[in-house]
Amino acid sequence: MPAPGFAIEAAAAAERLPLADGELLLWRRIDLGRDPDELMRRLIADCDWRQERIKVYGKSYLQPRLSAWYGDRGYRYSGIRLEPTPWTATLAALKRRIEELTATDYNSVLLNYYRDHNDSMGMHADDERDLGARPAIASLSLGAEREFRLQHRSRKDLPTVRMPLPSASLLLMRGDTQRYWKHGIARQRARCGARLNLTFRKIVDVGAPGRRS
Ligand SMILES: O=C(O)CCC(=O)C(=O)O
Ligand SMILES: [Mn+2]
């Protein structure tokens, strides 16, 4: 755990973004101790990437991106069971860095590799029971800037929040964010290069599967 003084200082470097019924903190560019592009290339080369099949309303689809799961615990969503994979040295070092910045502990990371503008992630909430009631999820982006969207789950009067996430940015979603909001990355018309996103999470219990397309 970081010393309390450090945690306060680090949190102060983050911007608290206004969000009804949730909490978002954004570090626009964190110091990763290495070049973000070089780190992205290393992770693309070293991680155990898969293109998972998921079932949505009984139909099977290939997810429009690649993913990899590392951590101390397995994870289940949309009928997929992700087995625990031991931390690599690079991922363990990143986890420690992000734990210091966000003053929160994590025990797993989901990596998503958007190969180009056609890859996407459907709107979803990370509200699986395994993550607990008010999960803190720290999302590190590397590579091409993509637009992250949030939509309130019941208040249709609230506009969609659109947030470009540049390389080396860190977004912390916590409090009631998963309970009241969905988020995702839309496929886009404008061509772009590869993007990696790493969401650090804490699995607390094995529960019911959630859904993400
Ligand atoms: O790629 C992103 O920014 C979002 C990733 C995400 O929502 C997830 O892994 O659950
Ligand atoms: Mn998510």
> At 85, is the pLDDT very low, low, confident or very high (cuts 50, 70, 90)?
confident
Neighbours of ion ligand 2 (CB under 5 A): 126
Q: Does the C-beta of 113 come closer than 6 Å to ligand 1?
A: no
**Segment 131-165, tens digit of pLDDT:** 999 999 999 999 999 999 999 999 999 999 999 99
Over residues 177-202, the mean pLDDT reads: 97
Alpha helix (H) residue ranges in the chain: 4-12, 36-46, 89-102, 177-180
Q: What domains does the chain contain, in order, with CATH numbers?
A: 4-201 (2.60.120.590)
**Segment 52-84, tens digit of pLDDT:** 888 888 889 999 999 999 998 777 766 777 777
As a residue count, the chain comes to 213
**Segment 101-115, tens digit of pLDDT:** 999 999 999 999 999
| 3-state secondary structure (DSSP) of residue 185 | strand
Pocket test for ligand 1, best of 24, 110, 112, 177 (most atoms within 8 A of CB): 112
How many angstroms separate the first and last alpha carbons of the chain?
35
pTM of structure: 0.89
> At 187, is the pLDDT very low, low, confident or very high (cuts 50, 70, 90)?
very high
Nearest residue (by CA) to ligand 1, atom 1, is 197
Q: Does the C-beta of 195 come closer than 6 Å to ligand 1?
A: no
| pLDDT for residue 205 | 63
| pLDDT for residue 84 | 77
**Segment 16-49, tens digit of pLDDT:** 999 999 999 999 999 999 999 999 999 999 999 9
Over residues 179-187, the mean pLDDT reads: 98
Q: From ligand 2's centre to the CA of 212, what distance in Å?
A: 8
Q: From ligand 1's centre to the CA of 164, what distance in Å?
A: 13
> At 1, is the pLDDT very low, low, confident or very high (cuts 50, 70, 90)?
very low
State which ligand 1 atom lies nearest to the alpha carbon of 67.
Answer: 9
| pLDDT for residue 212 | 54
- Per the prediction, the chain carries an average pLDDT of 90
- CA–CA gap between residue 103 and residue 91 (Å, rounded): 17
Q: From ligand 1's centre to the CA of 1, what distance in Å?
A: 25
Q: Does the C-beta of 65 come closer than 6 Å to ligand 1?
A: no
Secondary element (H or E) of residue 62: strand 59-62
Nearest residue (by CA) to ligand 1, atom 2, is 197
Check residue 143 and report its DSSP letter: E
Q: Does the C-beta of 178 come closer than 6 Å to ligand 1?
A: no
* Closest by CA position to 71, among listed 172, 195, 198: 198
- CA–CA gap between residue 181 and residue 22 (Å, rounded): 8
The structure tokens 């898969």 sit at: 50
Q: Inform me whether the pLDDT recorded for 208 exceeds 70.
A: no
What is the bridge-based pairing of β-strands 23-27 and 15-17?
A: antiparallel
| pLDDT for residue 7 | 52
What's the token pair of residue 13? 């470097």
Q: Does the C-beta of 130 come closer than 6 Å to ligand 1?
A: no
The dihedral of CA 16, 18, 24, 28: what is its sign? negative
